[in-house]
Amino acid sequence: MKTTVHSLPPSQACPFHVDAVQYLPEQPYKKGFTLVFFHAMNTHKEQFETAIGYLLQQPHRIRDVWCIGTSMEYSRAAHTFLTSTSHGIDFGSRNLVGLAHSAGSASLFLLQQIQPPIPFHALILMDAAILPIGTPGTRVLTRLFGTWAKTKPNTWSDRAAAHAELSKTAFRRWHPSAVDLFVKHAIGPGDERVPEGAVTLRCSTRQEVAFFLGPTADLVDTPTEIFLHLTKEDKLPIHSLRMTQGSVQIVEGGHMFPQTEPAGCARAIAQALERVWAQLQTRGVEVNPVSRL
């Protein structure tokens, strides 16, 4: 597959730099899907690269694949990129499918309330972080993730040291290439608070903690409210309400299965895309089915 990185400078629409990586199959299907991936908190836009490599080994009616990098406002950054024309891509004319993993689902749902709307034909949610509002379980989970973000290792003497330590933690279950990609893209030189020559997580600890524990944390209330509203209005049909409009698949590998089981992740995405394609052929492009992995 061919890889190209596209960048947008800060603008009135978004005051941050926005980068996205485009993956092209060897033989793009010009009338096929354009996939747009949203990554999890404290990962990076290349986090799906191993799974995408498996996905594009077989023809799946895919025109191209895009992974947009997070900024301080992921939804705003993604909307700016998808509605821009300076990169030469008219996403409005594409058969878009949105895919989100973990907390990336919150950004994908927040994107639904920004105007003009992005015309996704389908959404594929990978262990989405959609939590019930105000419940004890949600409070426990957000505190757990927030505390973990505060205390986990985040600075190393160099990338080799980071790779060595991460390979012994939860990352030990990751596919080797996924660990390599994380060390390459999610870790870099720090600011004045980091010892000279050392490297640290590009997503700061403060930003990650605020995501989970801030008084207006992005993870819970608003994305869940949007999800419930669109479901109630039947604009976002899900498995439990209408089986013909969505599907659920079980993928081994735990919450981080795009990294631990990239081949299985690719197979599940391919199956979901086949279902979406079949539904679009029988129901028309106005149908917006949702597949959840």
CATH of the domain at 115: 3.40.50.1820
d(C-alpha 95, C-alpha 1), whole Å: 20
pLDDT for position 237: 39
Same domain, 89 and 202: no
Q: What is the identity of the amino acid at 42? A: N
Q: According to the 3-state scheme, what is the secondary structure of 181-227?
A: HHHHHCEEECCCCCCCCCEEECCCHHHHHHHHHCCCCCCCHHHHHHH
- What are the structure tokens assigned to 34, written together? 């354009």
- State pLDDT tens for residues 46-99: 999 999 999 999 878 999 999 998 767 889 999 999 999 889 999 999 999 999
Q: Look at the chain and report how many structural domains it folds into.
A: 2
Q: What is the DSSP string of 247-276?
A: EE---SS-TTHHHH-HHHHHHHHHHHHHHH
Same domain, 16 and 152: no
Of 186, 213, 240, at which residue does a domain stop?
213
Beta bridge partners of 2: 24
Same domain, 225 and 198: no
Beta bridge partners of 98: 36, 123
Q: Which of 77, 64, 89 is nearest to 2 (CA)?
A: 64
- State pLDDT tens for residues 126-136: 988 777 777 78
What number is the average pLDDT over the span 9-33? 92
Same domain, 227 and 96: yes
Same domain, 89 and 123: yes
| Cβ atoms 187, 161 nearer than 8 A | no
Please determine, for residue 292, whether its predicted confidence score (pLDDT) is greater than 60.
no
Same domain, 14 and 102: yes
- HSE value, Cβ hemisphere, 13 Å, CA-based, for 247: 16
Same domain, 120 and 249: yes
Model confidence at 244, in pLDDT bands (50, 70, 90)?
Answer: very low
Same domain, 223 and 169: no
90 versus 148: which is more confidently predicted?
A: 90
Please determine, for residue 288, whether its predicted confidence score (pLDDT) is greater than 50.
no
Q: Residue written as tokens 């989100």?
A: 100
What is the torsion angle, in degrees rounded to the nearest 10, for the CA atoms of residue 37, residue 42, residue 48 and residue 50?
170
Same domain, 193 and 225: no
Domain range spanning residue 186?
136-213
Phi, psi of 200 (to 5 degrees): -145, 170
Of 148, 183, 213, at which residue does a domain stop?
213
